A and B are shown apart, each in its own frame.
Chain A
């Protein structure tokens, strides 16, 4: 039974604000669970997989560009060598021949490197294709298996972001999903993170150089922050002269855009590392290194087109919010509801309750949906159960019903059907 706009006392039935309009169309789309809408639900869930396709592609692109740079560099070096030798009058014939021969072997070496590079590129291209195929492969039959794999992918992503590399690898091997997860991409990050945790900026700086153009495009100041930290370490070691030279060379270029921050850090020269002055004490804390690790993780994820938060958190939040009702926190909440568990309840506390536009009634006895095929019946005390459950009870008990929650006994004939759309 669908309800039409009402002639009397309806007030809020006809909404006019744009958000509600958008949400009602969304609600209409997600309404029935007919097969065609199951398909559209599937399509919607596939649209969430941007990260799956983007990351291996970025990796592939990076490899292609790096290989090309190498080729360009070597070729121009060889050509200018030839020009140099031609213009220079010194060397004898033998020396010239030797020179040219060495250039030839240099080029042969480059060819080999190029081939190897191409092999790597092909592997990465294969991975991109494998993921496209994986997205295409889902259909009604293998849906539950595909969903299982999705959960595993999400867990591997979480492990990698939290640096639990062993577990990530084990899980990926165990379920044979190595092609669908980005362990190798994160290995790259691991080097930088481990070094930063060891208070070394070397690998991080090398990473910045590798990705110079992209970082510049996104106006990243990560390199600047690394340099600042190195400066502070020099100050901490009371190597003031070196610190100043370092600042002149590496920090000054950033002065134009980040002057205030630069000034603040430069001021540490005037203090000792065990200073009690709060403003400068914080700069000497080891926590600054943790901050750098976080910064790196953010830059890294941004570069590869990954979300900043782990996928697990995003899906968990959405799921908990969609499941959360005030009834979940009651003692008699069914065990099948994840929110009957303490750990889930704790996570869901700050999240909003779910919103529904249509009644969904669940029989207390059978846990089945009470709809037009199995309508709800009302006992004389106002408690409601499904027709199926009550019929079964009546059949086994001479037409009598006992309310499981209040103990009230009545006859099946005393029940009243309720009509709820």
Chain B
């Protein structure tokens, strides 16, 4: 983003501030100099101290330190007042324009925040927050759930797979149900780790004990791993060198996180992160709309549907939304999407309108086929 004008405006301020600083020092030095000169002159007995004093007063008046300072200060003030204007030009000065004045229940918000902290593994911050807000219960449950996960992940960071293997063993049925091969992946990593240490026999023994249950579905992978045994002491030069890459650990850590959350009935991403990310995408069009609708804020505050269409990225699409290309309305239970015989889809009300309530056939707006309204089927996404 073009931030150069802001940087320039700020640099100007900093420059003027430095000038002002050195000018002030200069002026102060001048005054000190004059006074010290006067003191010196007074202490040498040749001069009458009264006249020296009068001279000093006149000199100080001549120097006019205050007006000197005024000059640089004025320039500084101009730069200081220009900068916020530059800021307001490039950035949106008021992002609360579209805010609806409804009470957000602070208990609910605090609960959401506490859960978020525990989910992200920020246990001390979460604890501190709980003690400062006086909230308890609900989020604490989240804490113990995710603590287990982070302990496993921490262990994996130091290449210790024991906790993860134990957990995967306990939950192996559920993991299989979800179609996850996490357990095998963990064994895979452990196997390579043992092999790296150079003990081929131990690796073989490990493979014998642990790979067998997965043979049915993952034969190709197991065969590949068995091939590694040939290169036990020089894996990095073998065609299997990629197995040593640390990214394998990251991939498995991610799968572990995903499955752990899945088994707990939790989402993979923290819901707070997702909502805020959606907000970052949804806020700019909303604000643009508010500048256009400036006078009508009251009206918009009570609408049931946002007047601003917001197209969020793919990762925020959790539900199917069908928008009729004719009426631009979103389908509802009363106005469901209907499949026409040509394969195109319109909402029921549009079809009724175009066919004059099923009384006659009409042309599909996409292709020139004739459509009979009674032949249209309701769709369920």
Give chain A's interface residues, CB within 8 Å of chain B.
Answer: 1, 3, 6, 8-13, 18-19, 22-23, 26-27, 30-31, 33, 41-51, 53-54, 57, 61, 64, 68, 71-72, 75-76, 78-79, 82-83, 85-86, 93, 96-97, 100-101, 103-104, 107-108, 110-111, 114, 118, 121, 125, 128-129, 132, 135-136, 147-148, 150-151, 154-155, 158-159, 162, 164, 166-167, 170-171, 174, 305, 307-309, 312-323, 325-328, 333-338, 340-341, 343-344, 346-347, 350-362, 364, 367, 369-370, 376, 378, 381-384, 405, 416-421
Contacts and interface: CB of A to CB of B under 8 A. Distances in A.
Interface in B9-54: 10, 13-14, 17, 20-21, 24-25, 27-28, 31-32, 35-36, 38-39, 42-43, 49, 53-54
10 contacts: A23-B308, A41-B281, A64-B80, A68-B69, A150-B280, A154-B276, A318-B283, A335-B265, A355-B309, A384-B381
B308 A57 contact: no
B343 A316 contact: no
Given A9-B353, A111-B28, A338-B267, A318 B106 contact: no
A3 B278 contact: no
A337 B318 contact: yes
A274 B20 CA distance: 57
B87 A50 contact: yes
Contacts, number: 403
Contact of B17 (A104, A121, A320): A121
A53 B311 CA distance: 28
A358 B276 CA distance: 23
B10 to A, nearest CB: 6
Contacts of A350: 100, 102
B281 to A, nearest CB: 7
B95 interface: yes
A336 B269 contact: yes
Main secondary structure of the interface of B (DSSP, over half): helix
B321 A315 contact: no
B252 interface: no
Interface size band for B: 35 or more
Nearest to B91: A50
B111 A125 contact: no
A155 B113 CA distance: 8
Nearest to B111: A343
Contacts of B325: 3, 359, 421
Contacts of B344: 418-420
A355 B307 contact: yes
B105 A30 contact: no
Contact of A335 (B60, B267, B314): B267
Contact of A22 (B36, B115, B292): B292
A322 B125 contact: no
A356 B366 CA distance: 20
Contacts of B36: 104
Interface stretch (B189-197, B202-210, B372-380): B372-380
A12 to B, nearest CB: 6
Contact of B65 (A53, A79, A343): A79
B312 interface: yes
Contacts of B214: none
A360 B310 CA distance: 12
B318 A362 contact: yes
Nearest to A103: B35
B42 A96 contact: yes
B109 A347 contact: yes
B161 interface: no
Contact of A416 (B57, B310, B339): B339
Given A50-B88, A320-B279, A326-B332, 9 more contacts: A27-B285, A104-B35, A128-B10, A309-B99, A321-B306, A323-B274, A325-B319, A347-B109, A355-B308
B311 A358 contact: yes
Contacts of B92: 47-48, 50
Given A128-B10, A364-B381, A355 B330 contact: yes
B42 to A, nearest CB: 6
A244 B207 CA distance: 92
B35 A82 contact: yes
B133 interface: yes
Contacts of A96: 42, 49, 53
A321 B285 CA distance: 12
Contacts of A93: 42, 49
Contact of A321 (B267, B282, B379): B282
Interface string B316-331: 1111111101111010
Interface in B336-351: 339, 342-345, 350
A158 B113 contact: yes
Contacts of A78: 31
A148 to B, nearest CB: 8
A1 B366 contact: yes
Given A104-B35, A164-B133, A360 B320 contact: yes
